[in-house]
Structure 1
Amino acid sequence: MGPLSAGALFLLLLLGACPEARASQNCVNNQQLLTVIRQLQQLLRGQETHFTRGIRNMRSWLAALQNSVSKTVSDAPSDISECSSQPCQHGGTCVRGGSQYKCICPPGWTGSHCQHQTQTAAPEGLVTGDPALSLVTGDPAFSHVTGDPASSHAPRCTQEEHLQYCSCEAGFQLSGDGGADSVCLDVDECEFYKQEGRPNLCMHDCVNTPGSYHCVCPSGYRILPDRQSCEDVNECVTSQHMCSQGTMCINTRGGFQCVKPECPEGNSNGSYVKTSPLQCERSPCPMDSKHCRHLPKTISFHYLSLPSNLKTPVALFRMATASPLGWPRPTSLRFGLMGGKSHNHFVIQRADRRTGEVVLVKTLEGPQTLEVVVDMSEYLDRSFQTKYVSKVTIFVSPYNF
């Protein structure tokens, strides 16, 4: 803009030197003035063209820089959970799984995004990607490529500097050496992520589909919005059970049970009456019946549902004393496990001075049903007062959730 400023200053000097009010022989004539104006206009057009060209060059440089930066990929693993951005270079296959993706590289390329060329030629049939993903096509471990003709299709190919590069969309693997005869084969993500050290795609079962997969839950469960986790369906609440009248529906993991707790049969030593659907109470004892007073005052029924292989130790059930208002509190309590099936899986311990708890100490594998009988005896100054019994039935699911 320097020459333009000088020309403009010259024009102002000319106009200032020849005001209309005073004419002079030293003033330039109109023809000379028009010549100067045309020269300045030409100079302005030249400056405008130069400025426009600079803007155009700047735009081209920025576009090239943006394209270069977009193609540059870091070697560090990415947290991007989608393959839609096609992060795998040079024909690599993007495999989705959990919150990350992995690139399976074609022969001759390696790196987390297949961005590095190998120094030596890869052995025939070897996929030379991430070491964690290196697989030999002739090996049974390469079963994550299904090769199903129904899901195979032609790859996308481009020509770059007299070389042809072919690639497949996410969920497909380029077969062979990536040449003109290669096809896109479906990747079985379910088998791929079953391999040791890799996260599970689904809480229960994974079903492979062309280019993807979906999760399914067992009967009695529903899939959650994350499309991976399963949640138990409470058939007792949703009225999906078939329990007959007089029985109770107990929800279990993946199903339900119809139960009908029964009180012990009465005899001359004592009898019981049902005071609630889940409790029996002993009738008053005869004055001269010592045996009756040692029978449980109440028998209560409890039901628990556990997953298979629950981590141990874990407290499952608590039992505590609660003396009626005005009655003397017991000075001591004694807790014990009475018979029951597989009671060696459990121990009873004190949670505090007035509470005992049943603790699972040995892993249970389902499906199975166990019963634990817990008794609590009250003593007043070392004299036995009464006893309470809780029958705990445990339904163990065949699943770990």
Structure 2
Amino acid sequence: VHRDEPACWPVWPVASAPPVCCSCCALGLRVRSEGRGCDAHQYLGYPCGHVFLTCCEEAEEVEEVEEEQAGPRQIPLTRKQKPRPTSRPRKGTCYPPHQCTAEAGRARCSCFPGFSLKTDRHTCEDVDECATSTHGCRHGERCVNTVGSFVCEPQVTCPAGYQLRNDVCEDADECALRTHNCGTGFACENTAGSFLCNPTHKCISGFTHDSYGNCVDINECSSLSEPCSSGFNCINTVGSYSCQQKVIMCSHGYHVSPDGATCVDIDECQMGTHRCRLDQICHNLPGSYRCDCQTGYKYDGLLKICIDVNECWRYPGRMCAQTCENTRGSYHCSCTAGFSLASDGKNCEDINECDQNPCNQECANIYSSYQCYCRQGYYLKEDGHTCEDIDECSQSIGNLCAFQCVNVAGSYQCACPPHGYVMSANGRTCRDIDECATGTHNCSSGQTCYNLQGGFRCLSFDCPHTYKKVSDTRCERNICPSSSLDCQKSPVRITYYQLSFQTNIIIPAQIFRIGPAPAYSSDHIVIGVVKGNEEGYFGTRKLNSFTGAVYLQKQVREPKDFLIDVEMKLLRQGTITSTKPLQH
């Protein structure tokens, strides 16, 4: 019988337990094979009752499978097969810890992981993974075997003077272990982690033990920091010492210190025993003193007095950076305009006049002075401090703006007409608003919107009576009767063009070009303005044999509308045709 978990777990020690697990399992198999119920488990104790019920219920699902081939063999037991009533499992002889399985109606003993089956094939014994090196402990850990497994514990390292006992570092008694190095005359005394060597006998006062335990004299003069007070000498004696007073003789200018130990200098300046004049300074020296003139004075050997030193004359150019003025016993430095005296009292620092805001706009500090500047769009007035606005619009030589210049503080701005224009990105030129493209015109549905500089026109175009309208701006001639000569001489098509140009445009200015399409090298054209040019503003010019142009040849000083008729006649292979573009 195979299960996902063993039928019984280790409960008793190996040497003393009865063969319970497999015996109870075999009893459950036998009861089920005889057709009895599995209720008998309730009369058995734990774990036998649990093992009995498990094996009895498992046998209920087992059926016997007949072997098709001849010859005796073991019948494998699978789920849904039942053993024959005559099949009786033998009483098992497994010992705990173990597991018991049924194979062909017989109980089979095997061991759990961590155990191995002994040679008697019934008893399980623990595998010592630590001894067989089958553990998984890492470096720095030690393996501890347990029943059926092992444990990895941290490796314990004891410091010097300690030893490991039952996984605990305990003090090592060097005295008991006789690992000390105390010599003869010393007794060993154990301490935590170490030991002491104590003499076996004590020395009297003034003596101490040597390395052999003998009593030797103590030299108090060298072992004590201050055995005698100041002014006395230390003399060592056996077991003690004595202090002997020093005898000192001091030379001129010195006297014995209060403790009588040394000779100290006599400060004649402090004691007032010097002979310096009132205008002199006394300086103490070792064993003597010196009389010096005060700073800024020098001694006059003839007059026997201290006289003032003119530092400005004595050290020209070295005492002050700019102007030096002598004073009694000293001197004074001063600076010229634009400078101030530095903190050292000698050098001169440039004054930053801009800190006082002397300028109307911008101030630049320069050496010993300052300079006022104006921002762009302003000029500096004659007072050198005030800035005045520049009127760029009135002073400009060229045209700053395409339409109108407006002066503002420090600059200027360009303006456009109030209607029909917007300012370009360059801020100088005006860009026409195409009302026809933006849909802001008011032309009716029967009219066509034509954009103009600064406005628009609503125009309607009707074809003459012998023409038909093929687009909003083009008319083509109807087929002429063969008897109508006037019809045949009229233009083949009439096209309406809306043109616009600026006033004061440089003349002559080409405003329109015309030519046949397609054109051939053998073509010849004649172009002219046949109507609307009574004031002579326009003229025509033939560019080549098949291209003509309309020119503005007279200056237009103010906005004005023109409606002119331009006619082009084409001579091609002996035939003359004409086209009439209308200019507006």
Normalised TM-score (structure 2):
0.35
* Larger radius of gyration between Structure 1 and Structure 2: 2
Higher helix share: 1
Normalised TM-score (structure 1):
0.49
Higher RCO (Cα < 8 Å, 6 or more apart): 1
